[in-house]
Amino acid sequence: MSSVRLAMRLGATALAGIALMVPGATLASARAPGRTTAGSLIGASVSAAAHKGIVPPKKPAKSLQPSPFFPRSSSCAKGKDGSKCNALVLKAIAHARKVLEKLGGMSFSLSAFEKLTPIEQLFATVNLERTERGLPPAAVLTRSLDKIAQRGAEIDQDPNLQDVPNPLPGGGHLSGLGGNWAGGWGNALGADYGWMYDDGIGSDNGDCSRSHKSGCWGHRDNILGTFDSKADCRGGRHELAMGAGHVTKGKKYGDSEAELFAGVCGPTPTDVVISWTRVKHLLHVK
């Protein structure tokens, strides 16, 4: 493992199968031992909708280092986060998609993306990955989930799933939870690359090794997972909500990013920061 890769780390944790919990019920931790706070793969159901690319439970055939290797680029190194860096990351994502899934690159307005806050960018990247594979998007980014994700980013750890309130603001109840963390990947798009395309054997996934394969591709499974379903919610309203956290100078790895996924049964959370409908419009996504 190169010195550059030693300065980068990923962590994931997930909890599923908590559908139909009564108000105030306690969530049991799904974290598994690992070199960081990496945790188990999600056990949530997979969308039956038509899709393209690779979606859970299927996994990419191999973990792919970025090409171009943007972490070492002068445009991205030492905390740089601008248009040149993002352009390099998008090239790496396009390359990985072509090699691993025969998909095209991301299509959106980069200038508009760069006007979003870092946490809004994380929300956007998740939905770009989900919708381009035919999966339903996370409907909203919320303040209560952001708060929990931000604490994870500040201490270089996955968001603490046990801190998620149930019910959520607005009265919706949890049907599943998951969280990702990345350190040293530069920005939202860089972290997305690590989680989605370089998360298997030989990667910086702290819970993936040849002797411990259960955590491999756990971050990708979270991003593309189904934490809510009609069955989970007894045939009622259901959707995915998100939280996100960002620190430019984390405790150990520099840039620190965290994502929190919450399946919701019932009404949309009321503490909305931004919706996918709004972000989709801003980014000129069809």
| 118-131 pLDDT tens trace | 999 999 999 999 99
Q: Residue holding tokens 């200038």?
A: 111
Answer for the pair 134, 249: CB distance below 8 angstroms, yes or no: no
Query: How many Å apart are CA 34 and CA 53, to the nearest integer?
Result: 29
Q: What is the DSSP pairing of strand 138-142 with strand 173-183?
A: unpaired
| pLDDT value, residue 8 | 67
Q: How much is the pTM?
A: 0.87
Interacting residues of 286 by C-beta distance below 8 A, sequence separation 6+:
none
Judged against a pLDDT cut of 70, whether residue 276 lies above it is answered with yes
Confidence of residue 42 (pLDDT cuts 50, 70, 90): very low
Judged against a pLDDT cut of 90, whether residue 10 lies above it is answered with no
The predicted model gives 146-170 an average pLDDT of 96
| pLDDT value, residue 254 | 86
Interacting residues of 14 by C-beta distance below 8 A, sequence separation 6+:
30, 39, 40, 41, 42, 43, 44, 177, 178, 179, 218, 221, 222, 225
Q: Please report which residue ranges of the chain form alpha helices under DSSP H.
A: 3-6, 83-101, 110-113, 118-131, 143-154, 188-197, 218-223, 276-282
| pLDDT value, residue 51 | 74
Kindly report which listed range (26-40, 159-173, 180-194, 265-279) carries the lowest average pLDDT score.
26-40
| pLDDT value, residue 13 | 61
The predicted model gives 69-75 an average pLDDT of 93
| pLDDT value, residue 45 | 44
The predicted model gives 80-90 an average pLDDT of 94
| pLDDT value, residue 61 | 96
Nearest Cα residue to 153 out of 6, 3, 5, 11: 11
Angle at 239 between CA 31 and CA 156, to 5 degrees: 35
